[in-house]
Amino acid sequence: MSHAVHSASQEQPLFSMGFLLRTMAVIAVLAVLTVAISIGGRWFGRHISLAGNTDSTAEISLTIGRDSVKFPENAIRFPSQRHEGAAERVDLYLAWPEMQGYGKENHLRFDDVTQSSGLLFLQITQSTMSRDMSGRLEPIYSHLLEGPAETFGNGLTLHRLRADAGYGDEVLLTAPVKDGPDYVVRCVLPSAPDKATSGDCQRDIKVGNDLSVLYRFSSSHLDDWEHIDAAIRTFVEARLMNRSATSP
């Protein structure tokens, strides 16, 4: 009898069919997980590297006050603002001088804080004041100045603001503009050129029916003030959906 038992045990397969099926199932699951991790890793890595930026150029249509505008997604600074519809404001960032949003070719200016002086920052809202910064020069700023005006360079004149005016360390820079009101910008000038920040100068202009465009740029670009002002106005005006009603 022991011989029969021994013979039966020799005839049994080393691995049962159930074991083989379970093993194959585990291998299949591991393969699926490997593919998923690979795809997910690439997706996650891409989104980590973008850090809130997007290179999508799909256009987002927005209504701000009495104006309708459309901007490419990669020019809209905050993900929470990249949706269509009514909005109180939209924040943009653009590479200068290309006037383009985030992309593979210029991503370092957006990703590397040491290169952010190459960006322009725009905040677009419905206007709450009847005059833009140039329009406020005579009725408001002219009464807050003290000391003699100083030649600054690049056609600009520097004016110092009174300590009690509430503008801290800011100075006012102005320049005459042909067939238009004087250019006016407020800046916190750095103690040395290499101390300039990405947004130490700011100015606001009126565009469209009722839009206020507040923009900031580095004082290192003050030599290009006229081109920057014209480029920003053109960029926004070209994206007005109601442009035909406001263009000359």
In this structure, are residues 221 and 116 in contact, taking their beta carbons and an 8 Å threshold?
no
Which one-letter DSSP state was computed for residue 14? S
> What pLDDT, on the 0 to 100 scale, is given for residue 12?
53
Which one-letter DSSP state was computed for residue 191? S
Q: Max alpha carbon distance in the chain (Å)? A: 121
> What pLDDT, on the 0 to 100 scale, is given for residue 132?
97
Instruction: Name the percent of the chain lying above pLDDT 90.
Output: 75
Q: Say how far apart CA 189 and CA 209 lie, in whole Å.
A: 33
Q: What pLDDT digit, counting tens, does each position of 230-246 carry?
A: 999 999 999 999 865 44
Beta strand 180-187 pairing with 201-207: antiparallel
The verdict on pTM exceeding 0.85 is no
Q: Is 33 helix (H, G, I), strand (E, B) or coil?
A: helix
* Residues belonging to the chain: 248
Lowest mean pLDDT among 27-36, 180-189, 210-219, 233-242: 27-36
Structure tokens at 77: 């600074």
Q: Say how far apart CA 159 and CA 64 lie, in whole Å.
A: 34
* Extents of the domains making up the chain: 2-50, 59-246
Q: What pLDDT digit, counting tens, does each position of 108-145 carry?
A: 999 998 899 999 999 999 999 999 999 999 999 999 99
Q: Say how far apart CA 31 and CA 23 lie, in whole Å.
A: 12
Q: Tell whether the model's pLDDT for residue 26 goes beyond 70.
A: no
> What pLDDT, on the 0 to 100 scale, is given for residue 19?
57
Q: Kindly report the backbone phi and psi dihedral angles of residue 72, in degrees, each rounded to the nearest multiple of 5, phi listed first.
A: -70, 145
Q: What is the mean pLDDT of the chain?
A: 86
Buried b / exposed e over 29-66, threshold 16 CB at 10 Å, is eeeeeeeeeeeeeeeeeeeeeeeebbbeeeebebebbe
Q: How far is CA 64 from the centre of its chain?
A: 18
